[in-house]
Structure 1
Amino acid sequence: MITSLQNPLVKQLRKLQRAKERRNQRLMLLEGTHLVEEACAAGMPLVTACHTTAWQQTYPQLWSVLMQRAIRVELVSEEVLQAIATTVHPDGVVATAERTLGSAQFMSPTRAVQLGVALETIQDPGNLGAVIRTAAAVGVDGLWLSVNSVDLDHPKVLRASAGQWFRLPMTVSGDLSRDLQMLKLQGVQLVATVPTATLTYWQVDFTRPTVVLLGNEGGGLSSALLTLSDVAVKIPLAAGIESLNVAIAAALVLYEARRQQSFTEVLPR
């Protein structure tokens, strides 16, 4: 059992709490039973897994999976696990995985898109994780994230996604305008969410292939993406309300789009 905070592995894993170190080590930090379980279920190879005695006794089946899935599995003290984790009350297990392996996030450029979502300058990891969770629930074909957003593999993003991070095709776009322009050339409609738009989101035809564009609450979408979009829509708000959480906005528009698309799928030919 590892009990010392000065252990080289412990020092290495503690560094992963910082974005720079996650990039340098090319590792992502998976915290908690549910997230580790979802990673294993999605077939994601794990590099290291650290767990406490109590956790092993509570989850013997998942521990057996970790022994097969992870390159290295270590029993650690409660104090060590607390030091590794970013959460205040970790539940007994933390694992790492390579950033470039085992995730659906690396989406093929030629992937067919019936419904997708593009996010620009999203800064709150909880919001991003919630959008990912919603997008996966809706069954979108892909998610594009601008490079100036919060890290896609931020620990809080992973946790807020409730494990759906591993199941949703995603990509971090170095040039979101270029990537969206390529989608337009493939016949995909770009629908921008804008508070001042004339149309409400349920007045748009979502039966054609569509990518919904969302910006952060403070700045909204850039002028470049607004210019590129085919249609702008708004979500009606009561007087005195400035904006909705981006995850709520995404849920409303994406579910309306899926409702329309599902309705057409069952119409008689």
Structure 2
Amino acid sequence: MNDIRRISSRENKFIKLVRSLENRNSRWNKNLFIIEGEKILLEALEYNQRIECIMISEKANLSETITQSLSRKMDKTDVFVLDHKLFESISKLENSQGILAVVNFRLSNIKDIQSNSILLYSDGIQDPGNLGTIIRTIDAFGLDGLILGANTVDPYNPKVIRATMGSIFRVPIFLNSIGREGILELKNRGFRFLATIPKDGIPVNEFDFKSGDIIVIGNEGRGVSDIVKELASDFLMINMKGNAESLNASIAASIIMYEISTKI
């Protein structure tokens, strides 16, 4: 590990960097985001993420596991100890473990998607907890990644990151920045867009999933967009015996991913 330096000033450039990453535009302009806590930092180290710097509260009581991991893997990373009140001012957790890191990210283009992939497509999911849970579930059931459609919450929002429980480092994320044209491009390559709807679709337990399928989960309130409805290859629904009209987006996505995992 590099020599540990101390920071006590709010005007320090690294403190200013962390504060700037509270803003989505700043995160995307710099391709950086913040992770906080021992578990997710250990995940980042295990999966060889590029870590720009680590900040530790002077009152942090770090485990032996994280201490050893930092010693082994952080030869070229800046590590700082912060005055406790200064650390608290940049932490987003009520019960922080006193350690956070700034991590680099890189989104892939839809052109990079392999033809035999099965993916989920976020069509305007706005709730950070939903998107984070979907990323975690993609990881659990072994799908090939997530495509970000228009008006989707930032996957590097701190609440999304916490909900992924480290899966953010294992799930490829692709950006469809060209909307309709991006969907058409993937369809022309042979992908099927399967739009999820509350009723009058094909029950997911009866559908024949295959490589090249992209399952679209729509906005929590409005459902899938008009563009997706227009271009969808098929429409899927989840049979429900109770009286609820619909399911939470992440729960619906989880059920569909489970069905896929049993058939492919």
| TM norm structure 1 | 0.87
SS of the residue 1:82 aligns to: helix
Q: 1:133 aligns with which of 132, 136, 143?
A: 136
Instruction: Please report how far the alpha carbon of residue 218 of structure 1 lies from its aligned counterpart in structure 2 after TM superposition.
Output: 0.2
Q: Please give the secondary structure, in 2, of the residue aligned with 1:90.
A: coil
- 1:72-108 deviation line (CA, Å, top 9, x unaligned): 11011322222112222221211112333xxxx4256
Q: Distance in 2 between matches of 1:46 and 1:208?
A: 34
| 1:197 aligned onto 2:203 | no
1:40 and 1:69 in contact (8 A); partners too: no
Q: Is the Cα contact below 8 Å between 2:116 and 2:211 reproduced in 1?
A: no
Question: Is contact 2:115–2:212 with CA below 8 Å preserved after alignment?
Answer: no
Q: Deviations over 1:27-73 (max 9, x none)?
A: 21111111211111111111111013434464321331453252x11
Please tell me whether residue 78 in structure 1 is matched to residue 81 in structure 2.
no
Compared with structure 1, are the counterparts of its residues 146 and 174 closer, same or farther at alpha carbon in structure 2 (3 Å cutoff)? same
| Within-5 A mapping of 1:16-95 | 16-53=21-58, 54-56=60-62, 58=64, 59-65=66-72, 67-68=74-75, 70=77, 72-95=78-101
- Return 109-118 or 127-136, whichever deviates more: 109-118
| Cα distance in 2 between the residues matched to 1:259 and 1:65 | 40
Amino acid corresponding to residue 211 of structure 1 in structure 2: I
Structure 2 counterparts to residues 135-154 of structure 1, below 5 A = 135-154=138-157
Task: Return the match for 1:118 from 121, 132, 140.
Answer: 121
Bigger mean CA deviation after superposition, 17-26 or 161-170: 17-26
Contact kept, 8 Å, 1:107 with 1:142, in 2: the verdict is no
Give the letter aligned to residue 106 of structure 1. S
For the pair 1:249 / 2:252, whether they are aligned, the reply is yes
- The TM-score normalised by the length of structure 2 is 0.88
- Tell me which of 91, 111, 115 is aligned to 1:109: 111
Q: CA deviation at 1:238?
A: 4.5
Measured in 2, the distance between the counterparts of 1:80 and 1:160 equals: 25
Greater Cα offset, 81-90 or 222-231: 81-90
Equivalents in 2 of 1:165, 1:186: separation in Å? 27
The total of aligned residue pairs comes to 256
**5+ long unaligned stretches in structure 1:** 262-269
Aligned CA-pair RMSD: 2.1
Q: Distance in 2 between matches of 1:16 and 1:55?
A: 25
Letter in 2 for 1:75: V
Alpha-carbon separation, structure 1, partners of 2:204 and 2:89: 46
CA distance in 2, matches of 1:20, 1:179: 22
1:122, 1:149 within 8 Å by CA — same for their partners in 2? yes
Q: 1:23 to 1:183 in 2, by over 3 A?
A: closer
1:206 shift after superposition: 0.7
* Aligned mates of 2:254, 2:103 — CA distance in 1: 29
Q: Alignment partner for residue 259 of structure 1, among 240, 259, 262?
A: 262
What percent identity do the matched residue pairs reach?
29
| 1:164-175 correspondence to structure 2 within 5 Å | 164-175=167-178
Distance 1:69 1:176 in 2: 39
Secondary structure of the corresponding residue to residue 97 of structure 1:
strand
> 2:235 — aligned with what?
232
Residue 36 of structure 1 contacts residue 95 of structure 1 at CA under 8 Å; is this kept in 2? yes
| Unpaired segments ≥5 residues, structure 2 | 1-5
